[in-house]
């Protein structure tokens, strides 16, 4: 028997190894193995077992890592699909589907193997002297931990395994598990009564789980607070009752203790201590290992996690839920550049599972699929608790700037509204998607702007730390006391633009008595900071919470009656065709934080382009209106969902060389893809972020409706392409970020 192995090196090549006699019949496809490679020993995954090999002089597998094949057949196939579609080596795709802690197996199990005498039947087999000794010791003790037995008998595990093979002893593993939620108790919850819309949505999903006809991908479009989660929970219960497993994907940022608790409380109580496994980036390597193994062994049947949980080794998969399906964080930024939502749809189709994509603001792609019948649309247009959607008012900051002689932090309207909430002892959330104090340091005399020496962006002033920082590469420098231009030396150099730090300061100045807290990646260094601020806010020890997109999602505070969006057009004018969609989504999400209790909420949106459709439709809670006008623009320009995009980016330190290489790439693409119908090639041109981390960046964009076919041609082309040594090329299929 021969094992075909993909090594943990991105060589784009599988190697054959002989299976040693003692592994014959035991080695499974998907197992992790240690193999000799050159003079080294490295790890790899068995991707096939074959009878013969074109290679000669096969070397032997050294060892199997772990007790069970880590890759299930279906996940292995999914990795193969991913390597093909996203144009990356299989090895790279395999790296994504297994957590590092499992791949390396260094964390190991906190496992204790115990050995006991087994009731042998029939003629006693022949034993070696050593084996008889081990058996004698064990008969005396009846049962011993393996490690102790080995010490007592002065022998190796192999001897004991031989006895196991002969049926004379039994080895059992006792696992002491690391459980990240081990300290918490979950109060069991019962299914809630559903309103008619929720019932209809659940009925459709249950029908598909029961094998009904029609598309098995659902788009659950529900306004914020419409009770989507309860629909997920009851659909999950149905899948479990069928004996099937499920995966729930949640954006990392929304994977709060609150969220996990909702799922654990429903499904994990009594004897089901391991029913729900959680996978996210805050777990220690050991916790991640154990959570993953719970799934692999079938003890956890529901997995809740961020992006990579889509690869969880759930068998008999019945349902995948992708909550907040429009979130850009489902896309991985490095190879393999997969999109977890799209992978979920592919995986479910292969395994006969049902998918529910949920969102208050579905992506243009998903809604388009729902309209065209590829997905089934389910709608929850009302809030579950019958509370009204908040009133949204848009303030024209251009007029405000004229009235107040310069753009103020707070418009008159927002200022009054905050005062009112303080008097009524209600809470306010202020949203500004930019951390730091100011956007830039500018000289009003000569026009100098402090820029990053490595990137084509201006530096942000951080007042607390008294530093200028680059948010792209992390470069930091001291704050100059005068304009650094030797011909100017103006001491009146000024900060322009507004960040959360300055917003917090302005609040302290204008509302001296208010208790203010700020939440952004500068103030939250530890996981516990996040919990502490939220607990303080919930218990009313904070009046005003200031934050970046961290506060935009999934948080429910009944006493918040005012949400202020301080600078709504911040992301609106980025050179990306999704800028409008993103702004609409963000405004809708943030607005959803207001008025979830008995009191109606109010949202005040400050904008310099108040009549932009993204802002106006968000004001009216009109998703469909936004969709209809946006889809027209996408169709006219041939952007997704009417075509798919492949983005080629070239990077290098020498701008001329990068530009030259980009020209070369364009010509090569035209040559290779000649006759490929339905293709638009645009560029090359400098990327919107033209320089990052000292690298100049140029892009070529391809658009087609036949992406699978295009990807299958691009992959070998990239492999064969020769570029100057210091020029790097990356290929992103279905990019979500064009910067």
Q: How many residues bind Zn ion (CB under 5 A)?
A: 15
Choice from 97, 209, 455, 572 touching Zn ion (CB under 5 A): 455
Min separation Cβ 229 and Zn ion, Å:
40
* Least distance in angstroms from the C-beta of 484 to Zn ion: 8
List, in sequence order, every beta strand (DSSP E) within 105-184: 111-117, 143-145, 169-175
Stretch that binds Zn ion, among 38-46, 390-398, 466-474, 608-616 (CB under 5 A): 466-474
Which residues 6+ apart lie within 8 Å of 588 measured at CB? 224, 360, 361, 618, 621, 623
Question: How far apart, in whole angstroms, are the C-alpha atoms of residue 263 and residue 189?
Answer: 9
Identify the helix (H) or strand (E) that includes residue 699.
strand 695-704
Tell me the C-alpha distance between 552 and 354, whole Å.
29
From candidates 23, 27, 150, 483, binder to Zn ion by CB under 5 A = 483
Torsion of CA 300, 302, 304, 306, to 10 degrees: 90
260 binds Zn ion (CB under 5 A): no
Query: Smallest distance from the beta carbon of 443 to Zn ion, in angstroms?
Result: 3
Q: Is 459 in the site for Zn ion (CB under 5 A)?
A: no
Helices (H), 69-115: 73-85, 90-97, 100-104
Shortest gap between Cβ of 694 and Zn ion (angstroms)? 8
Q: Find tokens 């893809």 and name the residue.
A: 673
Q: Is position 202 an interface residue for Zn ion (rule: CB under 5 A)?
A: no
* In the complex, minimum distance from the CB of residue 686 to Zn ion, in angstroms, rounded to a whole number: 16
C-beta closer to Zn ion: residue 441 or 507: 441
Query: How far is CA 513 from each of CA 54, 419, 422, 507, 598, rounded to the nearest angstrom?
Result: 79, 10, 9, 10, 26
473 contacts Zn ion (rule: CB under 5 A): yes
Q: Which is nearer to Zn ion, 475 or 657 (CB)?
A: 475
Strands 317-323 and 245-249, how do they pair?
parallel
Question: What distance in Å separates the CA atoms of residue 316 and residue 243, rounded to the nearest whole number?
Answer: 8
Whether the CB-CB separation of 391 and 604 falls below 8 Å is answered with no
In angstroms, give the least distance from the CB of 685 to Zn ion: 21
Question: Phi, psi (5° rounding) for residue 698?
Answer: -125, 150
Told to check if 739 binds Zn ion by CB under 5 A, we report: no
Under the criterion CB under 5 A, does residue 105 sit at the interface with Zn ion?
Answer: no
Contact (Cβ atoms closer than 8 angstroms) between residue 347 and residue 310: yes
Distance from the first to the final alpha carbon of the chain: 50
75 counts as binding Zn ion under rule CB under 5 A: no
Does residue 261 bind Zn ion (CB under 5 A)? no
Q: How far is the CB of 688 from Zn ion (least distance, A)?
A: 15
Q: How far is the CB of 524 from Zn ion (least distance, A)?
A: 22
Determine which residue in the list 63, 136, 192, 446 makes contact with Zn ion, applying CB under 5 A: 446
Binding range to Zn ion, per CB under 5 A, among 84-92, 446-454, 535-543, 713-721: 446-454
Nearest to 224 by CA among 595, 687, 546, 478: 595
Shortest approach of Zn ion to residue 438 CB, angstroms? 16
| Segment contacting Zn ion by CB under 5 A, of 240-248, 302-310, 481-489, 494-502 | 481-489
Q: Is 467 a residue that touches Zn ion (CB under 5 A)?
A: no
Stretch that binds Zn ion, among 235-243, 291-299, 479-487, 603-611 (CB under 5 A): 479-487
What is the CB neighbour count within 10 angstroms for residue 729?
Answer: 16
Of 382 and 697, CB closest to Zn ion = 697
Q: Using CB under 5 A, pick the residue from 448, 608, 642, 717 that binds Zn ion.
A: 448
Residue 641, CB half-sphere, CA atoms under 13 Å: how many? 17
**Site for Zn ion (CB under 5 A): which residue of 104, 155, 258, 454?**
454
- Residue 721: CB atoms within 10 Å: 14
Structure tokens at 506: 């302005």
Using CB under 5 A, which of the segments 193-201, 404-412, 468-476, 580-588 binds Zn ion? 468-476
DSSP summary character for residue 125? P
| Residue of the chain from 150, 153, 443, 681 that contacts Zn ion (CB under 5 A) | 443
Please, which of residues 485-514 interact with Zn ion by CB under 5 A?
485, 488, 490
Nearer to Zn ion, 475 or 705 (CB): 475
Cα torsion 660, 666, 669, 675: sign: negative
Binding site for Zn ion (CB under 5 A): 443, 445-446, 448, 452, 454-455, 470, 472-473, 475, 483, 485, 488, 490
């Amino acid at each position: 028997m021969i094992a075909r192995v993909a090594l943990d090196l991105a060589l784009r090549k599988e190697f054959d190894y002989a299976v040693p006699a003692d592994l014959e019949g035991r080695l499974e496809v998907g197992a992790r193995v240690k193999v000799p490679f050159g003079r080294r020993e490295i790890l790899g995954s068995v991707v096939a077992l074959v009878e013969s090999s074109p290679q000669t002089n096969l070397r032997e597998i050294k060892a199997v890592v772990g007790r069970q094949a880590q890759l299930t057949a279906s996940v292995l196939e999914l990795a193969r699909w991913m390597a093909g579609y996203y144009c990356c080596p299989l090895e790279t795709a395999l790296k994504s589907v297994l957590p590092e802690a499992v791949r390396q197996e260094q964390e190991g199990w906190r496992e204790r193997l115990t050995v006991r005498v087994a009731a042998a039947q029939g003629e006693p087999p022949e034993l070696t002297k050593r084996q008889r000794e081990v058996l004698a010791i064990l008969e005396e003790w009846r049962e011993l931990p393996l490690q102790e037995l080995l010490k007592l008998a002065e022998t190796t595990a192999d001897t004991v395994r031989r006895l196991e093979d002969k049926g004379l002893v039994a080895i059992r593993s006792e696992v002491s598990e690391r459980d990240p939620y081990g300290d918490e108790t979950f109060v069991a919850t019962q299914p809630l009564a559903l309103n008619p819309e929720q019932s209809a949505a659940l009925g459709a999903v249950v029908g598909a789980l029961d094998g009904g006809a029609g598309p098995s991908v659902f788009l659950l479009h529900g306004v914020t607070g419409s009770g989507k989660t309860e629909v997920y929970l009851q659909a999950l219960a149905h899948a479990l009752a069928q004996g099937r497993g499920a995966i729930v994907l949640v954006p990392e940022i929304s994977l709060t203790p609150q969220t996990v608790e909702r799922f654990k409380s429903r499904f994990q109580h009594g004897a089901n201590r391991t029913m729900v496994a959680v996978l996210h980036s805050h777990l220690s390597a050991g916790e991640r290992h154990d959570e993953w193994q719970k799934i692999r062994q079938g003890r956890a049947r529901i997995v809740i996690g961020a992006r990579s949980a889509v690869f969880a080794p759930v068998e008999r998969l019945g349902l995948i839920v992708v909550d907040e399906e429009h979130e850009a964080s489902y896309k991985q930024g490095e190879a393999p550049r997969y999109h977890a939502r799209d992978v979920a749809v592919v995986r479910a189709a292969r395994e006969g599972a049902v998918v529910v994509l949920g969102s208050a603001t579905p992506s243009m792609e998903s809604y388009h699929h729902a309209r065209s019948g590829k997905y089934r649309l389910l709608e929850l247009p009302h809030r579950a608790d019958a509370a009204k959607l908040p009133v949204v008012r848009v303030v024209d900051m251009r007029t405000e700037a004229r009235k107040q002689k310069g753009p103020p932090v707070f418009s008159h309207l927002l200022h009054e509204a905050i005062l009112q909430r303080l008097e009524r002892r209600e809470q306010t959330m202020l949203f500004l998607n930019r951390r730091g104090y100011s956007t830039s340091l500018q000289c009003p005399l000569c026009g100098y702007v402090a820029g990053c020496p490595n990137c084509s962006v201006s530096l942000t002033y951080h007042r607390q730390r008294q530093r200028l920082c680059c948010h792209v590469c992390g470069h930091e420098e001291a704050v100059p006391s005068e304009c650094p231009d030797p011909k100017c030396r103006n001491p009146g150099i000024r900060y322009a633009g507004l960040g959360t730090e300055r917003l917090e300061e302005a609040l302290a100045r204008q509302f001296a008595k208010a208790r203010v807290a700020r939440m952004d990646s500068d103030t939250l260094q530890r996981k516990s900071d996040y919990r502490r601020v939220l607990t303080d806010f919930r218990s009313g020890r904070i009046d005003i919470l200031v934050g970046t997109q961290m506060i935009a999602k999934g948080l429910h505070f009944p006493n918040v009656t005012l949400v202020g969006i301080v600078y709504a057009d911040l992301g609106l004018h980025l050179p990306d065709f999704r800028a409008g969609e993103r702004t609409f989504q963000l405004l809708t999400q943030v607005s959803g934080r207001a008025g979830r209790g008995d009191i109606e909420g109010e949202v005040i949106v400050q904008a310099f382009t108040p009549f932009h459709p993204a802002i106006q439709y968000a004001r009216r809670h009109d998703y469909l209106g936004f969709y209809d006008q946006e889809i027209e623009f996408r169709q006219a320009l041939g952007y997704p969902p009417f075509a798919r995009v492949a983005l080629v980016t070239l990077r290098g330190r020498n701008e001329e060389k990068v530009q030259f290489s980009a020209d070369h790439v364009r010509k090569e693409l035209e040559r290779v893809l000649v006759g490929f119908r339905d293709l638009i090639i645009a560029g090359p041109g400098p990327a919107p972020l033209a320089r990052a981390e000292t690298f100049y960046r140029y892009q070529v964009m391809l658009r087609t409706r036949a992406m699978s076919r295009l990807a299958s041609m691009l992959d070998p082309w990239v492999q064969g392409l020769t570029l100057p040594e210091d020029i790097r090329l990356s290929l992103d299929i279905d990019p979500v970020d064009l910067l």
